[in-house]
Structure 1
Amino acid sequence: MPLATDVVGLDARASAEGLTAGEVLLLENVRFDPRETSKDDQERLALARELAELVGEDGAFVSDGFGVVHRKQASVYDVATLLPHYAGKLVAEEVKVLEHLTSSTKRPYAVVLGGAKASDKLGVIEKLATKADSIVIGGGMCFTFLAAQGHSVGTSLVQPEMVDTCRRLCETYADVLRLPVDIVAAEKFAADSPSEVVAVDAIPDDKMGLDIGPESVNRFATLLSNAKTIFWNGPMGVFEFPAFAAGTKGVAEAIVAATAKGAFSVVGGGDSAAAVRGLNLPEGAVSHISTGGGASLEYLEGKELPGLAVLNT
């Protein structure tokens, strides 16, 4: 497969013109052209026109990068306004799976959310709290929720500007949200930092939480064992450090076990997908591993994804 040394420059044009039937040309990374991610509509459209010119009058655009459909970029959105356009097999399959999570879910429906920042997940929590039977919250984001409940969280990651919103969510959806009851605390963010398991109401002032604790894992695993539909996005701790990976590993294993019992499970890309793959599980251990973490969340949040919306025009 020939590789052009530029995006829409001389080499790309010459290579495209030299293609014969059945050949494929791979362009250089489109993000090397600053117009790809420009906020200026005309700049993006200019790049899109040059991309469209490469395929000629009989060309078409097939969108098959689900991980970027939530971005309004030249090669995702604008080029589709210039050519006949279609969803590729991957995009179509991803949308089919996510539609299943929003419309025809079997109950109980469990959502597991982790990662560092509460602000990244508040929208999807608000949206899914009325659809899911339970929403498990772990990772760094749980400490903003714990702080909202009045717990002292030591030096753990907290977003002060999100505390009031998290408090409102805890009060409004008290019967749905599930927070850790214990955590693994350490003095510093380091793989070799000495750690201890403490209850969430006994976190030392000079320590930070870097994983959920074993009792939390057990409770979450029990909850997941009864679920018929599961969506997971975000690790439960700093899983890159072995000392703080048990929470993520435990949740992943619980989801795999639930899937083996017949649950429909979706892992929403990113770090959680990496965690599942890191367990060296057999094919089909979970029902679906999404290629788009951010795109999955925005879809479930009910936002319009530019790269999908344009395909319907």
Structure 2
Amino acid sequence: MPTFKTLDDLPDVTGKRILLRVDLNVPVTDGKVSDTTRIERVRPTILELSDKCAKVILLAHFGRPKGKPVDDMSLSLIIPAIEEVLDRHVAFASDCIGEAAAEAVEKMNNGDILLMENTRFHAGEEKNDKDFTAALAANGDIFVNDAFSAAHRAHASTEGLAHHLPSYAGRTMQAELEALEKGLGNPTRPVVAIVGGAKVSTKIDLLQNLVKKVDALVIGGGMANTFVAAKGINVGKSLCEHDLADTARAIMAEAEKSGCEIVLPVDGVVAREFKAGADNEIVAIDAIPADAMMLDVGPKSVDAVNAWISKAHTLVWNGPLGAFEIEPFDAATVAAAKHAANCTTGGELVSVAGGGDTVSALNHAGVADDFTYVSTAGGAFLEWMEGKVLPGVEILTKQ
């Protein structure tokens, strides 16, 4: 695993100005934060540095303001939620650079926490502009990156600052990278990956990377229909990208060459309409009626998935097996998730999961806390699974 410095490597930080990049891009409904998960994730790093008498200066983006101030994307809106999670006072600076930022930093006492205004209110953030980065760096002595979820972007506050200041990974970044290393970097074999979701087109790079790295690849969700159809089986009115049949066949050929077993559904739950409680039936995969669509994999398919989970020592999961948002088409995802959770809590399995729908699906199954690690990183998690270099991580390994 590439080495990087963590908070354990920090010198005495008493009185030091620490620029701490965090992910505070939280959902807000009616002016209130509706999910504080991301704030909770960075709490340990913030409090550790504050308790060590550092001056903790939080840098974050919020929404997509496109380089200009937007009132309803001001980070001032989420200060009450941050204060509640931290149980500490959090001061606010009306800008992240310039006079307002400098004055707010000047007023800080050791151990204080200061939130800077949205970094994306400046066009220089997403452009990784040198002058903007230098202006950010002027307020700090040390840079700590605790925002893995933004690490796939080479922005000023995620990558640029590491060229100016001694740089370290925060506790959340550290936990994420260690979990990912166990998942695909240097995993204990056998490794099984579960990849679901609606479309193959959004996950071609992912599938091409995984077939070279895992022992078995379970394909579920709407994606499975494309692979099944590519084998010449009629999938009725199921969601299917017929134009990607050649791509699916190429991925299956690459898997065979690499010794990776592709696990496709052998049966499915089909319905004529996509709504809760719709009339449905279980059919063999080659017996999908012409006027029906497959909305979940069937019980025999779940047995095959669970058999691989039982056999594996490492599981990487991205995407549900069926349309889990609507009952009864959540059955396969819930059953496999519960089995993976049992294997994990029993000490037989390292389970790493991530991606928006995956987190929702595991929460729906009530087992998110039983997995080894559940990433909230979304795009960064996906790009890591695709084998891509993440600039915000790469720069930390060069310090």
Could you say which TM-score interval applies, normalised by the shorter chain?
Answer: 0.7 to 0.9
**Aligned equivalent of 1:73:** 155
User: Which has the higher mean CA deviation after the structures are superposed, 235-244 or 187-196?
Assistant: 187-196
d(CA) in 1 for partners of 2:218 and 2:112? 48
Count of matched residue positions in the alignment of Structure 1 and Structure 2: 305
| 1:162 CA drift (Å) | 2.8
d(CA) in 1 for partners of 2:242 and 2:136? 44
Whether the 8 Å contact between 2:211 and 2:254 is mirrored in structure 1 is no
Whether the 8 Å contact between 1:151 and 1:201 is mirrored in structure 2 is yes
**Aligned equivalent of 2:50:** none
Which of the residues 138, 145, 167 maps onto 2:249? 167
Whether the 8 Å contact between 2:183 and 2:350 is mirrored in structure 1 is no
Task: Provide closer, same or farther for how the CA distance between residues 159 and 3 of structure 1 changes in structure 2, counting only shifts above 3 A.
Answer: farther
Determine whether 1:267 maps to 2:349.
no
**Aligned equivalent of 1:84:** 166
The C-alpha deviation readout for 1:123-162, integer Å capped at 9, x for no partner, is: 2322232332211110121122112112222332223443
Determine whether 1:148 maps to 2:230.
yes
Task: Provide closer, same or farther for how the CA distance between residues 207 and 282 of structure 1 changes in structure 2, counting only shifts above 3 A.
Answer: closer
Whether the 8 Å contact between 2:151 and 2:391 is mirrored in structure 1 is yes
Q: 1:54 is aligned with what amino acid? A: N
d(CA) in 1 for partners of 2:97 and 2:270? 51
d(CA) in 1 for partners of 2:300 and 2:364? 23
The C-alpha deviation readout for 1:228-284, integer Å capped at 9, x for no partner, is: 11111111122222222112101101211221252111112422223223333484x
Determine whether 1:202 maps to 2:287.
yes
* Structure 1 SS opposite 2:187: coil
**Aligned equivalent of 1:242:** 327
RMSD: 2.5
d(CA) in 2 for partners of 1:2 and 1:154? 58
**Aligned equivalent of 1:121:** 203
**Aligned equivalent of 2:190:** 108
User: Which has the higher mean CA deviation after the structures are superposed, 188-197 or 17-26?
Assistant: 188-197
Pairing of 1:172-191 with structure 2 (within 5 A): 172-174=254-256, 176-191=261-276
| Percent identity between the two aligned chains | 39
Whether the 8 Å contact between 2:310 and 2:343 is mirrored in structure 1 is yes
Which of the residues 302, 305, 309 maps onto 1:220? 305
Whether the 8 Å contact between 1:233 and 1:293 is mirrored in structure 2 is no
| 1:191 CA drift (Å) | 3.2
* Structure 2 SS opposite 1:242: coil
d(CA) in 1 for partners of 2:172 and 2:392? 13
TM-score (norm 1): 0.86
Whether the 8 Å contact between 1:227 and 1:258 is mirrored in structure 2 is no
The C-alpha deviation readout for 1:47-82, integer Å capped at 9, x for no partner, is: 433322333xxx221111111211222321222223
Whether the 8 Å contact between 2:355 and 2:382 is mirrored in structure 1 is no
**Aligned equivalent of 2:44:** none
d(CA) in 1 for partners of 2:252 and 2:349? 27
Q: 1:144 is aligned with what amino acid? A: T
Task: Provide closer, same or farther for how the CA distance between residues 48 and 154 of structure 1 changes in structure 2, counting only shifts above 3 A.
Answer: farther
The C-alpha deviation readout for 1:99-126, integer Å capped at 9, x for no partner, is: 2233542222211111222133332322
- Gap runs ≥5 in structure 2: 1-89
* Structure 2 SS opposite 1:3: strand
d(CA) in 2 for partners of 1:161 and 1:10? 56
Q: 2:281 is aligned with what amino acid? A: E
| 1:11 CA drift (Å) | 4.7
| 1:19 CA drift (Å) | 1.7
TM-score (norm 2): 0.69
Q: 1:140 is aligned with what amino acid? A: G
Determine whether 1:28 maps to 2:117.
yes
- Gap runs ≥5 in structure 1: none
d(CA) in 2 for partners of 1:199 and 1:31? 51
d(CA) in 1 for partners of 2:200 and 2:232? 16
**Aligned equivalent of 1:61:** 143
d(CA) in 2 for partners of 1:277 and 1:85? 34
Whether the 8 Å contact between 2:190 and 2:215 is mirrored in structure 1 is yes
Q: 2:108 is aligned with what amino acid? A: L
User: Which has the higher mean CA deviation after the structures are superposed, 274-283 or 162-171?
Assistant: 274-283
Whether the 8 Å contact between 2:222 and 2:322 is mirrored in structure 1 is yes
* Structure 2 SS opposite 1:94: helix
Pairing of 1:297-308 with structure 2 (within 5 A): 297-308=382-393
**Aligned equivalent of 1:278:** 364
Whether the 8 Å contact between 1:226 and 1:258 is mirrored in structure 2 is no
Pairing of 1:289-304 with structure 2 (within 5 A): 289-304=374-389
d(CA) in 2 for partners of 1:240 and 1:210? 11
| 1:33 CA drift (Å) | 4.2
